[in-house]
Amino acid sequence: MKKVVLCIVLLVFSKSFFGQTLARYGDHAITRDEFLKAYRKNNTKTKATEKSYREYLGLYIRYRLKVQEAYDNKMDTLPGQVTEMQNFRSQIADQYSNDETSLNRMVEEAFLRSQKDIRISYIFVLAPKTAPPADTLRAWRKINEALSALKKNENFEETALAYSEDPFVKTSHGDIGFVTVFSLPYSIENIAYRTPVGKYSPIFRTGDGYLIVKKTAERPAAGRMRVAQILLIFPYQANDAEKADTRRRADSLFDAIRSGSDFGELARRFSGDNLSYQLGGVLPEFGIGKYESPFEQTAFGLKKDGDISPPFATSFGYHILKRIARIPISTTRDKKTMEALKEKVQADQRIEVSRKELLQTILKETGFRENIPAGDRLFVLTDSMLLGKKEPLFPNLTLHSMLFRFPDKTITVADWVNYRKTISRVPSILNGKTNPELLDQYRQTVAFDYYKAHLEKYNKIFAYQINEFKDGNLLFEIMQKQVWEKAGADTAGLRNFYASHERNYWWNSSADAIIFNAGNLSAAEKLQKDLGPGIQSWHAMVDSLGAQVQADSGRFEMKQLPGNGNTNDHYFTSMVTNNDKTVQFAYVIRKFPNPEPRTFADARGMVINDYQNELENKWITELEKKYPVKVDEGVFRTLVR
C-alpha cells in the first residue's frame, strides 16, 4: 500500500513541474525543461548544485532578453539573417529525410553480409518492363521451363546453357564467381544471400528480366586487396597466334621480374592499362566481385606482400600481378566500420528502400490525400498536353482537378503535367519508366518536398536545431549593433572610461620580449642556438623557417612569459613544453620589475573589453525594465531535488 501511495505521489510531483514555467520576462516564459536542456548542454563538466543552477539561470535570462529584443526589432527579417537561415536549413534538412530505423537496419544487414563471400550462378531471361506483353509472356514461359528443368534434377550449368539469355553464358556457364555485399544490385543481393548453399531461388523479376539464382558456395570474407599489374592487351579480335604471341611477351616480362627487374618500371614501359601504368601499375584497392574471376582468384591467391603471379589470361589479355597489401574485413562493429558502411548504404540504391518506408510515414503524418482518376484517363490527358493537343474532355477531370492534397496545400493535375514537361528534358529521370511509375515518383517528390518545407512541425530535434541556430545568429546581430560596434567606434567614451578606471590598467612586473614557439624540443634548441645572444636577425630567421616556428614580440607581464620570465643566461627563459608537444621560450630584451601604469595605447584591448561589458550591463538594465523578470522560486527548488 505504501509503495502505491509513493508511486502516486511521485507521479503527481513529476506532472506538477513537467513543462512548468521557471521564469518570466515580460510576456515570455522560460520553462523548466527548456532551461534544463540548455544547462545540461553547456555545463557537462559542472556539478549540478543550487549555486550552479542560479548562476546559469542568470546568464540564460540575459541571453533570452537579448534575443527577444532582436525579435521585437524584427532583426530576423534582415536579408542577411534570412539568407543564413535558409542556407543552414537546406544544409541539415537532408539529415532528417531518412528513416533512421530502416537505415540502421540496413547498415547492420550490410555488416553481417560483409562477413562472408558467396558464390552464385544464375539463369537470366530478357524481359524489360517496357517490352510488349507478348514478349513478356514469352520470357515468363521460358524462365518457367528452366525452373521445371531444374526441378527434374537437371544440372544447373546445363540448364543455364540451354535457357539463359546472358551473352556470357557460353563461357561462364552462368557462374559469376564469388561476390560480397554491394557487389550486386540490392534486389539480387537479397535473393542471393537468403538462398541456402546448394539451393536455387524462386523466379524473381528485375528491371531487365527474370532470374533464377543458385548459391553454390559460401566462405569467410576475403577482404580487400591492393595490387599492381602489368597488362599486355590482346589485339582487337585476336586469333590464337596473336594470343600466343602475347603470352610469350608476358613470359619474358615475368622472367625479367624474377631476375631482379623493377616491376613498376616494367609496368610504366609495357603495361597497356592506361589508368595504372603511370603509377607503376598500382590499382585502386578492390574487393570481391569487382573484376573477372581469374583476376580475383589470382590476386587473392597471392600469399604475402611482394609476391608476383605468373602470367594469366582474362578476356582483356595477359596479366602479371604484384601483391601490395591485403586488407581484412573488420569483424567488430566499431564506430569507423559502421560509419563507413552507413556512407555506402546511403550512396547505394538500397537507400530507396529506406526512403519508401519513410514515405509511408510522411504520407500519414502530413495528412496526405490523393484523388487518382480510375483507368488511364489521367495519362491520356497528360500525353495530350505533352503533345500540345487540346485538353480532352473527361467528366470530373480537368487540369484544375485536385490530384494530391495536404492540409494547407493542393497539387493539381496541371502541376503534374508541368512536372512531366520538366522531366521530359531529363532522360535519366524518365529512364524507361511507365506512367504509373512516374506518377509514383511524383507522389514521392511532392511528399518529400512538403515534408522538408514543414520539417519543424514533424521533427522536434530539427526544430530545436533550427531555433538554436536562429537565436544564435540574432544574438550576434544585436550584440554587434548594441555593444561591439558602439564600443569600437566610441573613441571618446573609451578614453573617458580609461581615465575613470586607470588604476585597473597597470603593468605588473613586465618585460619587452620576443616569445618563440617551435614544433618540438629539438627544433626549439636548434633555433635558440642559431639565434645567439645578439638576436638582431630573428625576423629573417623566423620567416625562413615558415610554419615550423612562430614568434610574437611586445611587452608582456612576467607571468605571461614561459617560465614566468626567469632568464638563466640573462637572455633566454627556460623552455616550456605545451600539451601539443610544441615548445615555447622567450628572449627578454628589457625588464620592468616595478608596477607602473599602462598607456591608453597599451591598455586599449583591455579597455575595449571592459567598456563593452559596461555597455552590455547598462543595456541589460534597460531590457529588464522593458521585460520585467520574475523567477518562480518554487519551480527553481525542484531543479535541485
Question: Are 206 and 125 within one domain?
Answer: yes
Last residue within a domain, chosen from 308, 327, 346: 327
Question: Are 236 and 209 within one domain?
Answer: no
In-domain check, residue 624? no
Question: Are 512 and 532 within one domain?
Answer: yes
Using the CB atoms, write b or e for 56-68: b if 16+ within 10 Å. bbeebbbebbbbb
pLDDT averaged over the chain? Answer: 90
In-domain check, residue 473? no
Q: What is the pLDDT of residues 296-323, one digit of tens each?
A: 999 999 999 999 999 999 999 999 999 9
Question: Are 142 and 185 within one domain?
Answer: yes
In-domain check, residue 478? no
- pLDDT at site 115: 96
In-domain check, residue 628? no
CB atoms within 10 A of CB 601: 7
In-domain check, residue 56? yes
Question: Are 375 and 312 within one domain?
Answer: no
Last residue within a domain, chosen from 220, 241, 270: 220
Question: Are 215 and 240 within one domain?
Answer: no
pLDDT bucket at 4, cuts 50 / 70 / 90:
very low
In-domain check, residue 420? yes
Q: What is the pLDDT of residues 601-620, one digit of tens each?
A: 989 989 999 999 999 999 99
Report the range out of 24-38, 431-445, 511-525 with the highest average pLDDT. 24-38
Question: Are 197 and 245 within one domain?
Answer: no
Which helix or strand (DSSP H or E) is residue 584 part of?
strand 583-592
- pLDDT at site 640: 81
- Count of structural domains within the chain: 5
Residue 208 DSSP label: S
Question: Are 215 and 133 within one domain?
Answer: yes
Question: Are 307 and 383 within one domain?
Answer: no
CATH number of the domain where residue 185 is located? 3.10.50.40
**pLDDT, average across residues 226-236:** 95
pTM of the model: 0.60
Task: Give the distance from CA 63 to its chain's centroid.
Answer: 32
Name the percent of the chain lying above pLDDT 90: 70
Question: Taking every pair of C-alpha atoms in the chain, what is the biggest distance, in angstroms?
Answer: 105
In-domain check, residue 412? yes
pLDDT bucket at 11, cuts 50 / 70 / 90:
very low
pLDDT beyond 60 at 2: no
Structural domain span for residue 449: 367-453
Question: Are 73 and 127 within one domain?
Answer: no
pLDDT bucket at 8, cuts 50 / 70 / 90:
very low
pLDDT beyond 80 at 532: no
- pLDDT at site 14: 37
Query: Pick from 444, 480, 410: which is nearest to 66 by CA?
Result: 480
Last residue within a domain, chosen from 172, 197, 220: 220
pLDDT beyond 80 at 406: yes
3-state SS string for 357-374: HHHHHHHHHCCCEECCCC
Question: Are 237 and 319 within one domain?
Answer: yes
| Beta-sheet pairing, 21-25 with 629-631 | antiparallel
Q: What is the pLDDT of residues 43-81, one digit of tens each?
A: 878 788 999 999 999 999 999 999 999 999 999 999 999
pLDDT bucket at 568, cuts 50 / 70 / 90:
low
Burial of 440 (0-12, 13-18, 19+ CB in 10 A): middle
Question: Are 210 and 259 within one domain?
Answer: no
